Structure 1
Amino acid sequence: MGTGQFFVTLGNGFAASSPWAAMGWGLAFFASIYLVICGGNWLLTRRLLPALRIGRRIDPKPLRDGQTRYELSLSAVSILIFGIGTVLPWAFLRLGWAQLAQDPGPLRIALEMAVLLVWNDIHFYANHRLLHTRPLRSFHAQHHRSLVTTPFSTYSFHPLEAALLGNVILLPMLLHDFSFAALLSLPVTSLLLNNLGHSNYDFAPAAGHDHWLSASRRHHLHHTRYHGNYGFLFNFMDGWFGTRLPDEAPPPAQTAVES
């Protein structure tokens, strides 16, 4: 069985499962990628890259007391919400509102992954801006307690924020019959790239402000300034809507959560 056919079989099995099995599968999936990616990035940015003298830490200040424990506890709740939320794409498939591609070629899968990556950035920007409005700001403040970010900050959300960000796959499924491989790639690449933004590590100090590897610098500025740099991996949405912060933004007048 080829890789493409493996994912087709896996997707069909997911669609044919019970709702409880779908939620259990989702919980195991999100917990696994969180542990592997966040734990791996912690080792990479705290041990391996500094030892090799590649890149540099952005903010050397120590973490606040109990920060890692706080981030892990909120992340566990987010993983629970993402896992339970897996029942929604499952329901779309069972109700016939969405279909899975049954014979996708490598080119189609690659194009679908690229489209979902761009859509993820658009969805993230829209919801992130929404979370910075006055009615929702108090919910998003839980994430901004991490003024010095870590890889474990990535899923450190209030449950409402986790629900908003976790629905990213639903609209694309209603508009196009995606391959199951492309659908699975979205949370993996999203977590990988979100980890880049929260790593508090400058992987390429010589790269320009708009380079994708500068996402960690841009998002670090967001956590220190609170307003601006709402984008994810790319910077085009911040450029279009005038929310792009300069590379060396002045320090904020107030703490981030109070702004």
Structure 2
Amino acid sequence: MGSWFISLDWLQVMTVGVMYFSVLYFTTALVNTWLSQRLMPAIGFGRRLDPRPLRPGQLRREIGESMMSILIFGTGLVVPWGLLRLGWAQLATAPSVAQIIIEIIVLFFWNELHFYLNHRLLHTRLMRRFHVAHHRSHVATPFSTYAFHPVEAAMLGSVPLIPMLLHDFSFAALASLPVISIVLNSLGHANYEYSRSAPARGPLAASRRHHLHHACYHGNYGFLLPVFDQLFGTGLPLDAADDRIAARGGDGAT
């Protein structure tokens, strides 16, 4: 199934990659914006988390930074492509449906760990200058999902490399990884809690946890699951941002 990808030349790989990540980004951002700002409020399901207005020009800046990240993610596909062309990694031959499902689950948990470790690193004194661009969005939006400094984009985009060197994954499982990542990332940046109960529990609480991260800067470094924040004591209480929002509710700043 992935033989066509291996047969491409480097320029074709970059072109396909940029197109792929562009479709993922704009589709999830637009759908999530429609859900969180139109459909869900209209039917009375869920709630907005941070009521502060966006900063002037925020969406334009987020889209511009995200386009740079898309360029890095897309052209960066030459790295896994190169691993396959050089024979340093292999794709699974005729994988079963069960194998593909198991691999997707494994990659999901690896993505959680990879994100947490890189996110913690980006909040250290050594690396935080590369992460501050993302935190200019004190109020997150679905268009914040790829709004990274190029260094951060390169770090987060490296997620499939180690797994590929350790196991012969199916092409379908590897191709699903960016889809899983952007869907969950968009959920985390929606600034909207898709839940009847408040606060939400389990995976649906991802939006609230990441809203608190943007509002408070430190804490809640995980992606969808809170397991690593719980394990390493980096979770934030549910009221962590209340004082900041109440004190500066009209200016969109923290």
Under TM normalisation by the shorter chain, which class is it? over 0.9
- Gaps in structure 2 of 5+ consecutive residues: 249-253
**Match in the other structure for 2:12:** 21
C-alpha deviation, 1:248, in angstroms: 1.8
**Match in the other structure for 1:3:** none
Q: Aligned ranges for residues 1-259 of structure 1 at < 5 Å?
A: 8=1, 11-206=2-197, 210-249=201-240, 251=243
- Gaps in structure 1 of 5+ consecutive residues: 1-7
Q: Match of 2:234, as an amino acid? A: T
Normalising by the residue count of structure 1, what TM-score does the alignment of the two structures yield?
0.92
> Matched residue pairs, number?
248
Larger mean Cα displacement after TM superposition, 136-145 or 68-77: 136-145
Instruction: Determine the C-alpha separation between the residues in 1 that align with 2:205 and 2:168.
Output: 33
Instruction: Determine the C-alpha separation between the residues in 1 that align with 2:75 and 2:38.
Output: 34
Instruction: Determine the C-alpha separation between the residues in 2 that align with 1:97 and 1:54.
Output: 49
Q: Match of 1:44, as an amino acid? A: L
| Ranges of 4+ aligned residues in structure 1 off by more than 6 Å | none
C-alpha deviation, 1:207, in angstroms: 6.0
Q: Match of 1:99, as an amino acid? A: Q
Larger mean Cα displacement after TM superposition, 155-164 or 200-209: 200-209
Matched-pair contact (CA < 8 Å) for 1:209–1:247: no
Instruction: Determine the C-alpha separation between the residues in 2 that align with 1:171 and 1:207.
Output: 38
The share of aligned pairs that are identical, in percent, is 55
SS in 2 for 1:73: helix
Matched-pair contact (CA < 8 Å) for 1:100–1:179: yes
Larger mean Cα displacement after TM superposition, 239-248 or 150-159: 239-248
Matched-pair contact (CA < 8 Å) for 2:193–2:200: no
Instruction: Determine the C-alpha separation between the residues in 1 that align with 2:75 and 2:90.
Output: 20
What RMSD, in angstroms, separates the aligned Cα atoms of the two structures? 1.9
Instruction: Determine the C-alpha separation between the residues in 2 that align with 1:205 and 1:116.
Output: 30
Instruction: Determine the C-alpha separation between the residues in 2 that align with 1:95 and 1:53.
Output: 54
Q: Deviations over 1:112-168 (max 9, x none)?
A: 000000000000000000000011111101000000110000000000000000000
C-alpha deviation, 1:208, in angstroms: 5.7
C-alpha deviation, 1:246, in angstroms: 1.3
